[in-house]
Structure 1
């Protein structure tokens, strides 16, 4: 992943992860796998785990410990009401920005 992509992703990754959790609860590795399936192959697992800690601390997700066949219980994250409201605001902001950037890209100033 190039430097520009990495910098842009920093500002949107939280919303992307919340969108994934809005579809279905998941644990860290599942989230990373879903991101990789969508083309984010170079994304480090540590990046996702750090982000999950932040969104948990901010109260955007609920966490349930679920027994695992392979080792300690997994922390399964699900979007809560506060997280849903944050995600809705993310999509409004994304729509605004993408529309304006699209206009610039098409030469509309």
Structure 2
């Protein structure tokens, strides 16, 4: 059985951007907790994948970060989606639907 993290391969950007669009600015841990909770612990974001992805997205202009105080009264870097990130999210969602549809066709007619 594949590891939970393997299920994220190719969908990490989509999940991060969608989470930020739906929930507003969050720190990395908050993003990971949200995805795990909503997916009933099927999808798990490892720090070694999540933070490099956030950094890459920030460099691409898809997210913007700022230092804030978290709910536990610690300073944390919060990420929010930008207008460019919203356009990228729409592209990512469209591409994901195409992949899911293609896989569904193969499973149905194999």
Q: 1:97 aligns with which of 82, 99, 104?
A: 99
Question: Normalized against structure 2, the TM-score is what?
Answer: 0.82
Distance 1:5 1:63 in 2: 25
User: What corresponds to 2:108 in structure 1?
Assistant: 106
Q: CA RMSD in A?
A: 2.2
> Do the aligned residues in 1 keep the contact of 2:5 with 2:44 (CA within 8 Å)?
no
- Any stretches of 5+ residues in structure 2 without a counterpart? none
- Any stretches of 5+ residues in structure 1 without a counterpart? none
1:15-62 alpha-carbon deviations (Å, 9 max, x no partner): 111110111221011011112212246432232112111111111012
CA pair 2-93 structure 1, distance change in 2 beyond 3 A: same
Compare CA radii of gyration and give the structure with the larger one. Answer: 1
Q: CA deviation at 1:106?
A: 0.5
Equivalenced residue count is 105
Report matched runs for 1:61-80 at 5 Å.
61-68=63-70, 69-70=73-74, 73-80=75-82
